[in-house]
Amino acid sequence: MTSLPGMSRKFVADLSPEEGMEVDCTQAELTKTAFEDSAELPDVKDMRLEAEAVVNDVLFAVAEMFVSHSLHNAVDVAYINVQTREGNRYCLELTEAGLRVVGYDFDQVDESVLTQYHETVYSLLDSLSPAYREAFGNALLQRLERLKQNGQ
Protein backbone atom coordinates (compact mmCIF):
# COMPACT_ATOMS: atom_id res chain seq x y z
CA MET A 1 0.00 0.00 0.00
CA THR A 2 1.44 3.41 -0.94
CA SER A 3 0.40 6.83 0.27
CA LEU A 4 1.30 10.42 -0.35
CA PRO A 5 3.39 12.34 2.22
CA GLY A 6 1.20 13.78 4.94
CA MET A 7 -1.65 11.37 4.12
CA SER A 8 -3.22 9.71 7.14
CA ARG A 9 -2.98 5.90 7.52
CA LYS A 10 -4.67 3.49 9.89
CA PHE A 11 -2.60 0.98 11.82
CA VAL A 12 -3.57 -1.70 14.29
CA ALA A 13 -1.65 -1.90 17.52
CA ASP A 14 -2.11 -4.98 19.67
CA LEU A 15 -3.30 -4.16 23.17
CA SER A 16 -3.90 -7.75 24.18
CA PRO A 17 -4.33 -11.05 22.35
CA GLU A 18 -8.10 -10.49 22.07
CA GLU A 19 -8.34 -6.84 21.08
CA GLY A 20 -6.67 -4.21 18.92
CA MET A 21 -6.82 -0.47 18.60
CA GLU A 22 -6.83 1.63 15.42
CA VAL A 23 -4.40 4.54 15.44
CA ASP A 24 -4.31 7.45 13.00
CA CYS A 25 -0.90 8.86 12.19
CA THR A 26 0.57 10.93 9.40
CA GLN A 27 3.49 10.04 7.17
CA ALA A 28 5.58 12.65 9.02
CA GLU A 29 4.91 10.88 12.31
CA LEU A 30 5.89 7.57 10.74
CA THR A 31 9.23 8.90 9.56
CA LYS A 32 10.17 10.54 12.85
CA THR A 33 13.61 9.23 13.78
CA ALA A 34 14.39 7.38 16.96
CA PHE A 35 16.83 10.16 17.83
CA GLU A 36 14.06 12.77 17.80
CA ASP A 37 11.89 10.50 19.88
CA SER A 38 14.60 9.35 22.32
CA ALA A 39 13.22 11.26 25.31
CA GLU A 40 10.07 9.14 25.11
CA LEU A 41 11.83 5.77 24.82
CA PRO A 42 12.16 3.87 28.09
CA ASP A 43 15.44 2.16 27.12
CA VAL A 44 17.38 5.40 26.51
CA LYS A 45 19.73 6.06 29.41
CA ASP A 46 19.86 9.53 30.94
CA MET A 47 23.59 10.26 30.98
CA ARG A 48 23.17 12.70 33.89
CA LEU A 49 21.94 9.85 36.09
CA GLU A 50 24.55 7.47 34.69
CA ALA A 51 27.28 10.00 35.52
CA GLU A 52 26.17 10.16 39.16
CA ALA A 53 26.27 6.35 39.33
CA VAL A 54 29.76 6.28 37.78
CA VAL A 55 31.03 8.75 40.38
CA ASN A 56 29.52 6.77 43.25
CA ASP A 57 31.05 3.53 41.97
CA VAL A 58 34.69 4.63 41.99
CA LEU A 59 34.90 7.61 44.34
CA PHE A 60 36.73 5.44 46.89
CA ALA A 61 39.68 4.93 44.52
CA VAL A 62 40.34 8.49 43.29
CA ALA A 63 41.32 11.74 45.01
CA GLU A 64 38.26 13.66 43.76
CA MET A 65 35.42 13.01 41.34
CA PHE A 66 32.18 14.83 40.57
CA VAL A 67 29.73 15.56 37.78
CA SER A 68 30.52 18.92 36.19
CA HIS A 69 28.21 21.78 37.13
CA SER A 70 29.77 24.17 34.59
CA LEU A 71 29.49 22.10 31.41
CA HIS A 72 26.14 21.34 29.79
CA ASN A 73 24.96 17.88 30.84
CA ALA A 74 22.03 16.41 28.95
CA VAL A 75 20.17 13.17 28.35
CA ASP A 76 22.76 12.11 25.75
CA VAL A 77 26.00 13.46 27.28
CA ALA A 78 27.42 14.21 30.72
CA TYR A 79 30.79 15.46 31.89
CA ILE A 80 32.67 14.16 34.91
CA ASN A 81 35.70 15.76 36.54
CA VAL A 82 38.21 13.40 38.13
CA GLN A 83 41.48 13.86 39.95
CA THR A 84 43.52 10.70 40.28
CA ARG A 85 45.48 9.82 43.40
CA GLU A 86 48.60 10.87 41.47
CA GLY A 87 47.14 14.39 41.25
CA ASN A 88 46.30 14.36 37.52
CA ARG A 89 43.05 16.08 36.57
CA TYR A 90 40.79 15.04 33.72
CA CYS A 91 37.44 15.99 32.25
CA LEU A 92 35.58 12.90 31.05
CA GLU A 93 32.73 12.71 28.57
CA LEU A 94 30.06 10.06 29.14
CA THR A 95 27.83 9.05 26.21
CA GLU A 96 26.16 5.87 24.97
CA ALA A 97 29.53 5.10 23.30
CA GLY A 98 31.23 5.02 26.71
CA LEU A 99 33.67 7.23 28.58
CA ARG A 100 36.64 9.15 27.22
CA VAL A 101 39.01 11.90 28.26
CA VAL A 102 38.11 15.24 26.61
CA GLY A 103 40.30 17.56 28.66
CA TYR A 104 43.24 17.67 31.02
CA ASP A 105 41.72 19.85 33.72
CA PHE A 106 38.34 20.18 35.41
CA ASP A 107 35.53 21.48 33.17
CA GLN A 108 37.81 21.59 30.15
CA VAL A 109 36.69 20.22 26.78
CA ASP A 110 39.42 20.38 24.17
CA GLU A 111 38.17 19.42 20.70
CA SER A 112 41.72 18.48 19.67
CA VAL A 113 41.89 15.73 22.32
CA LEU A 114 41.08 12.50 20.50
CA THR A 115 41.08 9.66 22.99
CA GLN A 116 39.47 6.25 22.74
CA TYR A 117 36.17 5.38 24.36
CA HIS A 118 36.16 2.92 27.26
CA GLU A 119 33.13 0.77 27.96
CA THR A 120 33.51 1.19 31.72
CA VAL A 121 34.89 3.74 34.14
CA TYR A 122 37.03 0.94 35.58
CA SER A 123 38.78 0.41 32.25
CA LEU A 124 39.33 4.13 31.74
CA LEU A 125 40.76 4.74 35.21
CA ASP A 126 42.86 1.59 35.00
CA SER A 127 44.52 3.06 31.90
CA LEU A 128 45.08 6.48 33.56
CA SER A 129 46.06 5.74 37.13
CA PRO A 130 48.27 3.03 38.66
CA ALA A 131 47.11 4.24 42.10
CA TYR A 132 43.48 3.62 41.06
CA ARG A 133 44.44 0.10 40.00
CA GLU A 134 46.08 -0.50 43.39
CA ALA A 135 43.14 0.97 45.37
CA PHE A 136 40.66 -1.09 43.38
CA GLY A 137 42.71 -4.25 43.92
CA ASN A 138 42.97 -3.58 47.65
CA ALA A 139 39.23 -2.99 47.94
CA LEU A 140 38.58 -6.23 46.10
CA LEU A 141 40.92 -8.16 48.43
CA GLN A 142 39.23 -6.66 51.50
CA ARG A 143 35.82 -7.66 50.20
CA LEU A 144 36.99 -11.21 49.50
CA GLU A 145 38.43 -11.42 53.03
CA ARG A 146 35.09 -10.30 54.51
CA LEU A 147 33.25 -12.88 52.42
CA LYS A 148 35.68 -15.56 53.53
CA GLN A 149 35.26 -14.62 57.20
CA ASN A 150 31.46 -14.55 56.91
CA GLY A 151 31.50 -17.97 55.24
CA GLN A 152 33.37 -19.65 58.12
CATH number for 64 = 3.30.2280.10
The count of structural domains within the chain is 1
Q: Give yes or no for a contact between 92 and 80, defined as CB atoms under 8 angstroms apart.
A: yes
In-domain check, residue 41: no
In-domain check, residue 146: yes
In-domain check, residue 33: no
Does the reported pTM lie above 0.75?
Answer: no
Distance of alpha carbon 150 from alpha carbon 134, whole angstroms: 24
Instruction: Work out the number of other CB atoms within 10 angstroms of the CB of residue 14.
Output: 9
pLDDT digits (tens, 9 = 90+) for 47-103: 999 999 999 999 999 999 999 999 999 999 999 999 999 999 999 999 999 999 999
The domain containing residue 80 runs over which residues?
A: 47-151
In-domain check, residue 105: yes
In-domain check, residue 40: no
In-domain check, residue 144: yes
In-domain check, residue 79: yes
- Say if residue 5 is exposed, middle or buried (CB neighbours under 10 Å; 0-12, 13-18, 19+): exposed
pLDDT digits (tens, 9 = 90+) for 2-18: 444 443 333 333 333 33
* 121: amino acid identity, one letter: V
In-domain check, residue 114: yes
